[in-house]
Amino acid sequence: MDKNEVLHKYFGHSGFREGQEQIVDNILSGRDCLCVMPTGAGKSLCFQIPALVMNGTAIVISPLISLMQCQVEDLREIGVSAAYINSSLDSAEYFDICRRAYAGELKLIYAAPERLTSESFLKLCDEIEIPLAAIDEAHCVSHWGQDFRPSYLKIAEFIRTLKKRPVVAAFTATATSAVKNDIKRLLELNDPFSITTGFDRPNLFFEVRKPEVKDDELLKILKNVSGAIVYCSTRKNVEYVGQMLLRNGIKAAAYHAGFSSEQRKTAQEDFLHDRVDVIVATNAFGMGIDKSNVPLVVHYNIPKDLESYYQEAGRAGRDGSPARCILLYSKSDIAIAKFMIEHSHEDSELSFEEQNELKKRDYLRLKKMTAYCETTACLRREILLYFGENYPHNCRNCGNCVNNVEVEDVTVEVQKILSCIYRLKQRGKTENINVIKNILLGISDSRIAENGYETLSTFGIMKSVKPERLQLIADYLLKEEYIEQDGQLCLLTLKADELIKKKGTVIMRFEKNKRPVPENNELFEKLKALRKKTAAALGVPPYVVFTDATLLDMCAVLPKNHEELLRVSGVGMRKAERYGKKFLSVINEYSKKTASF
């Protein structure tokens, strides 16, 4: 079979997504590849399709046991012979996989990077034909990546031990220029075809909320939602939030690295099989989930950087269905993030100088993450600009672009704030933002009285402005670099001078109402119920039967027979034969019912 036949027969798609065909063609031509594609863009197809076209058995190096188990289960469901080798196997299971590999029965073997130095695994690889080595989450090879794993440094050595060098293809969702260069160098890619597809995920709705009480806001967000992930920055918060949700009648499971392997496995299985509505987790759950029909990801705490946030938020809507990514922001979270940065590299093998360099990088990333949380600009544009992608307009699909924000001219208020800092400078003084706010609001305290600030012309000139609004404008001026901080002291910048001299305009966006959550239609709910029942009988997660995107396409197409069902995106021949009759029955019954009205 050629690539197009494989794509349709096994995966049920009539065409490739952006970048996929170029990657497949380059791998099939024998060229190494470096592919940066956002979560949900279909990276796995880019190595799975060549593996099915090529002779021999492809090796896929993947960092987490749960991730490779999910992918192997998905492949088996569509009729592809695949297996994984990791520490979860007993000796009998391992030898059975080896037997099948020697017999040429396996098209893909997934392996943890720690397995690459195992004598038995090296012996296996020496005796089978390996046309392709695919490295998933390739950013883990770089010290500068957000998830550095020392075991990834052994990959190049492993490839050198093979009797015939395979095509090497590296895949990651997020990578800066420095990380890309590290991937090429440390994985020893030969003149790789490099591609970075657009980072934009149009189906995702991004929103930042600043609630007074996070728990109340979270409960409101999770009402009537099934399949949500809630990320917390600490294990303590995971356990607290998980218990809080259970007390309030929400079926939730908790997951973090401190739980036993059995507890983690149970939590993950319950979530994958829709036995719980919500899983609360640290980022230890981040790369270990391949569930495609997640409609909502909530961050209870601020992540340490935008790379981590976009990767974790990107677990939503992987099947292309509309999904929401909501971040609950509190300035108190920043202290937790800083504590984690200070202790994040203590157990590494890096030198003291390297650790300090990484801490500086991490603090800069946290600053940009905080700026994202506080911006009133288009959230999608802020994310894409961070990754070096130009996005010149507003997306109209984020919390800052829809009806929960309103645009205001704040030029006069900005001029008053800048004037206050300038008047202090005339007296040879600099102050922190809290003192400046008190001067503007006309609030006299001991510091203001001692320094005679009540005599400033700017004292009290903003007393009619709400302190919360003044704080938002001050935060905006810091973010947009009209003012800068030397320690805690505020100074005017050249950008502020230009604004004052040229009498420019400053526009800000302020929050108002929240975006309503759309409801699913009747047929979609009926198909979901059938999917859940079918999956339970087979002992597989519901999304393995059909993704939400496939069910939505069924609702749009309303196929009447087997041939029309094969035109639905995500329905291959095997699934049509296995499930088609039951799903067509529900669709036809619904169509007759609605036609009678």
pLDDT above 50: residue 153: yes
What is the domain class of 3-196 according to CATH? Answer: alpha beta
pLDDT reported for residue 511: 67
> How far from 329 is each of 243, 283, 375, 382, 540, CA to CA, in Å?
21, 17, 12, 16, 36
Coil/strand/helix, residue 485: strand
What is the domain class of 522-595 according to CATH? Answer: mainly alpha
Question: pLDDT (tens digit, 9 = 90+) per residue, 513-569?
Answer: 443 333 346 888 899 899 999 988 988 888 888 888 888 888 888 899 988 898 888
Burial (CB < 10 A; 0-12, 13-18, 19+), residue 74, is buried
Q: Which residue is listed with tokens 């029965």?
A: 105
What distance in Å separates the CA atoms of residue 107 and residue 53, rounded to the nearest whole number?
A: 9
Question: pLDDT (tens digit, 9 = 90+) per residue, 443-497?
Answer: 988 889 999 999 999 999 999 888 888 988 998 888 888 888 877 788 888 888 8
When pLDDT is cut at 50, 70 and 90, the band that residue 388 belongs to is confident
Establish whether domains 3-196 and 204-397 are of one fold: yes
pLDDT reported for residue 362: 86
Higher-scoring residue by pLDDT: 324, 200:
324
Name the strand (E) or helix (H) holding 327: strand 323-328
The percent of residues above 70 in pLDDT, for the chain, comes to: 94
Whether residue 193 contacts residue 23, with contact meaning beta carbons closer than 8 Å, is answered with yes
Whether residue 491 contacts residue 430, with contact meaning beta carbons closer than 8 Å, is answered with yes
Tokens of 287: 């790369």
What distance in Å separates the CA atoms of residue 247 and residue 344, rounded to the nearest whole number?
A: 33
Whether residue 572 contacts residue 10, with contact meaning beta carbons closer than 8 Å, is answered with yes
Q: Which residue is listed with tokens 């099939």?
A: 28
Helices 3-11/20-28 angle, 10° precision: 120
What distance in Å separates the CA atoms of residue 291 and residue 40, rounded to the nearest whole number?
A: 10
Tokens of 208: 């930042």
pLDDT reported for residue 516: 37
Domain ranges of the chain: 3-196, 204-397, 406-511, 522-595
pLDDT reported for residue 453: 93
Residues found in the chain: 597
pLDDT reported for residue 518: 34
Tokens of 47: 């190595």
Lowest mean pLDDT of 165-169, 260-264, 390-394, name the range: 390-394
When pLDDT is cut at 50, 70 and 90, the band that residue 196 belongs to is confident
Tokens of 398: 């984020």
Whether residue 319 contacts residue 550, with contact meaning beta carbons closer than 8 Å, is answered with yes
Q: Mapped to the 3 state alphabet, what secondary structure does 487-543 carry?
A: CCEEEECHHHHHHHHHCCCCEEEEECCCCCCCCCCHHHHHHHHHHHHHHHHHCCCHH
What distance in Å separates the CA atoms of residue 491 and residue 95, rounded to the nearest whole number?
A: 68
pLDDT reported for residue 156: 95
pLDDT above 70: residue 162: yes
Give the mean pLDDT of 238-246: 95
pLDDT reported for residue 174: 75
pLDDT reported for residue 408: 82
Helices 306-313/379-386 angle, 10° precision: 120
User: Which ranges in 290-406 belong to alpha helices (H)?
Assistant: 306-313, 332-342, 352-374, 379-386
As a whole number, the mean pLDDT across the chain is 87
Name the strand (E) or helix (H) holding 221: helix 214-222
pLDDT above 90: residue 498: no
Question: pLDDT (tens digit, 9 = 90+) per residue, 120-142?
Answer: 899 999 999 999 999 998 988 88
Higher-scoring residue by pLDDT: 26, 524:
26
pTM: 0.62
CATH 1.10.10.10 is right for the domain spanning 406-511: yes
CATH number of 204-397: 3.40.50.300
Higher-scoring residue by pLDDT: 179, 276:
276
